Amino acid sequence: MTLFSSFERTAQRLSPLAATVLRVALAWVFLRHGLMKLHMGLSGVAGFLHSLGFPLAGVCAVLLIIAETFGAACVAVGLLTRFFAACLALDMILAIWRALLPSGRPFELEGMLLAGALALVFLGDGWLALGSLIGKKKEG
């Protein structure tokens, strides 16, 4: 047995942890951005969204803050992961479309956050998720 094949076998056994690692890392970044928006205040976020041409900027600001704080916290602990990951993916699609593409700024971070959120939509919670613990209690 080679070192590589031993590594491959170990990595294969641990592959279910991939969604958990991604879930926690992605949630951390979104939560930090959401807390920054909370610090800006609703009017500051709404003003920014209005400057980007979003209709109903106040409503959009509330939804954005909820997604990036409460939604990210839920993703972090593995609760309603697929739903909130889809919300966060939509958040990144809109950010890229309305803020970054028109300005010509690169969107590496937003692109990676979009890819990570979409991956969680497909992968789900992974291990060590509150959602799976609650689901097990309902079944048992």
Q: Is residue 9 part of a domain?
A: no
Q: Structure tokens of 130? A: 């509150």
Predicted structure pTM score: 0.88
Per-residue pLDDT of the chain (140 residues; tens, 9 = 90+): 688 888 899 888 888 889 999 999 999 999 999 999 999 999 999 999 999 999 999 999 999 999 999 999 999 999 999 999 999 999 999 999 999 999 999 999 999 999 999 999 999 988 888 887 776 655 44
Q: Write the CA distances from 108 to 63, 83, 94, 100, 115, integer angstroms.
A: 24, 23, 15, 10, 10
Write out the residue range of the structural domain in which residue 79 sits.
23-139
Domain count, the chain: 1
Do 33 and 68 form a contact (C-beta atoms < 8 A)? yes
